[in-house]
A and B are shown apart, each in its own frame.
Chain A
């Protein structure tokens, strides 16, 4: 008791300060460090997936199953969302452009927005919701029930068997689904503008043909392939690193969806910017 000399109280104060700085440091930088770590792990997993892509055996069946699940399985939902996105966008654009007497630009405006932005981004969000989340859940529950360890004991690389096909299938299927989305969106837009709101068919098509280039479609498709890589590598990474029972699998799925959506939306701006610089608009 008598030891509460000035020296020891000074030590206590120092300890308190250190504690506070430490807590502050962890509050501020902790999430940042975790974020960087996760980013590093995702890159490492993608690197491994790429490495195993070129090694025997090539399991074509696994690729076909993944292509079917990610691509064919998402088709109906992409068509549905595409039609309504095009329709809603066309409705608003028609309403606004009419006010300024710019009816001739409606077709071009809607199509440009679809092929460059809306189709790749919304397709990525829909595929994340459907397939990215499924990857996290499926691989997560395989991790929890030791099926991934079992694969390794059977001398099969889980990355080659489970992760590589999913990433490759996503990179292939995302551009294809984006094309379907764009087409469905244009059908929806045409229906609303030309048939419901009585915009002239010729006007709708003429400017569209003049303003929309293969270059615009290319931008959308490159974005789509990048988004495919992003959402599948995040989904698979969250799955294979799941821990802690059913709750852990749930958490992995939530994270996969949130991380993928945020990354896709952020990357959309940067990739768009870079692509605009690389391919200077011919118009």
Chain B
């Protein structure tokens, strides 16, 4: 892997992170992260709270600048880019925030229409059609007129996803999509992620500490601990691991046991 030219577009890996470091004051959060995100796959980053998973993802979109290291998106190093240049790279991304981060001064429809109004020259009618289609896709047919403050947690997340996918990005980042949801809603969100990945062919990056969800939908799992990626592999490889930290982390959740085989397709 070290022999490949990172500045060339790679068919297998869409995002490649090398030796990423980030400190906040005295707190050294990322300590040399190396990460390869597979194109068109669901890549899940697990790890305990405060390990820097969200910080890592914010670096991928240029919301934070690293102290050291490189991030290649389709072969382009995004670290040296300024805010204006970064905006063109960000058009490849969509992000679903932990608390959805909907614009609370707008209705659901305005939230989802926002990226279209900002970045396309489509007519109002066409925008309404596209928004309605995306909302229908996520089971939100009658929510257009609602204010975002009136939505439940699960609905807000679906609206957030609708807003993130309305411009049809190539890469979708989900920041703890199932945190704070009941088991049914969690499963719905899992299905939503898996179906979005399959239907739109996007590269998905999911931050999670929900092990049941992770093993249900992941194509590849990364574990971030102590500021580094300490393990990575397919769910089957992860279950066969001898890494003690990883075994403890996964088994403590009580939902997955080592020696289990992950279900094929995963969504049963």
Point out residues on A near B: beta carbons under 8 Å. 55, 57, 145-147, 149-150, 152-157
Interface residue SS majority, chain A: loop
B136 at the interface (CB under 8 A from A): no
Determine the chain A residues whose CB is within 8 A of the CB of B93 once the complex forms: 153
The answer to whether the Cβ of B40 comes within 8 Å of any Cβ in the partner chain is no
Closest to B175 in A: A146
- Taking the closest CB of chain A, its distance from the CB of B124, in whole angstroms, is 13
B90 in contact with A157 (CB, 8 Å): no
The 4 closest A-B pairs by CB, nearest first: A150-B101, A146-B101, A155-B87, A153-B95
**How far does the alpha carbon of A150 sit from the alpha carbon of B104 in the complex, in Å?**
12
| A157 and B87 form a contact (CB under 8 A) | yes
Interface residues, chain B, CB within 8 Å of chain A? 58, 61-63, 83-84, 87-88, 90-91, 93-95, 97-99, 101-104, 114-115, 118-119, 163-164
Q: In the complex, what residues of B have CB within 8 A of residue A146's CB?
A: 97-99, 101
Among A145, A146, A150, the one with the most B-chain Cβ atoms within 10 Å of its Cβ is: A150
Q: Is the CB of A155 within 8 A of B99?
A: no
A245 to chain B, nearest CB (A): 12
| A153 and B94 form a contact (CB under 8 A) | yes
Structural contact, B83 and A157, CB atoms closer than 8 A: yes
B residues near A147, Cβ cutoff 8 Å = 101-104
Checking B83, B84, B87, B97 against A150 with a beta-carbon cut-off of 8 angstroms, the contacting residue is B97
8 A-B pairs with CB atoms under 8 Å apart are A145-B104, A147-B104, A149-B101, A150-B101, A153-B95, A154-B115, A155-B91, A157-B83
Residues on A with beta carbons closer than 8 Å to the beta carbon of B83: 157
Q: In the bound complex, do residue A145 and residue B99 qualify as a contact, i.e. CB atoms below 8 Å apart?
A: yes
**How far does the alpha carbon of A155 sit from the alpha carbon of B115 in the complex, in Å?**
9
Give Cα A149–Cα B103 distance, bound, in whole angstroms. Answer: 11
Point out the residues of chain A lying under 8 angstroms from B163, CB to CB: 154
The distance in angstroms between the C-alpha atoms of A150 and B91, with both chains bound, is 13
Q: How far is the CB of B61 from chain A (nearest CB, A)?
A: 6
B62: which A residues are within 8 A, CB to CB? 152
* A106, chain B: closest CB distance, angstroms: 48
Q: Which residues of A contact B61 (CB under 8 A)?
A: 152-153
- Set of chain B residues within 8 Å of A145, measured between Cβ atoms: 99, 101, 104
- Please state if B97 and A152 are interface contacts (CB–CB under 8 Å): no
Of the candidates B58, B94, B102, B115, which one forms a contact with A149 in the assembled complex, judged by CB atoms under 8 Å apart? B58
Give A171 to B266 CA distance when docked, in angstroms.
58
Chain A residue nearest to B95 in the complex (CB): A153
- Given A146-B101, A157-B83, 12 more A-B residue pairs with CB atoms under 8 Å apart are A145-B99, A146-B97, A146-B99, A147-B104, A149-B63, A149-B97, A152-B61, A152-B63, A152-B90, A153-B90, A154-B118, A156-B87
Q: Tell which of A55, A152, A154, A157 touches B114, judged by Cβ atoms closer than 8 Å.
A: A154
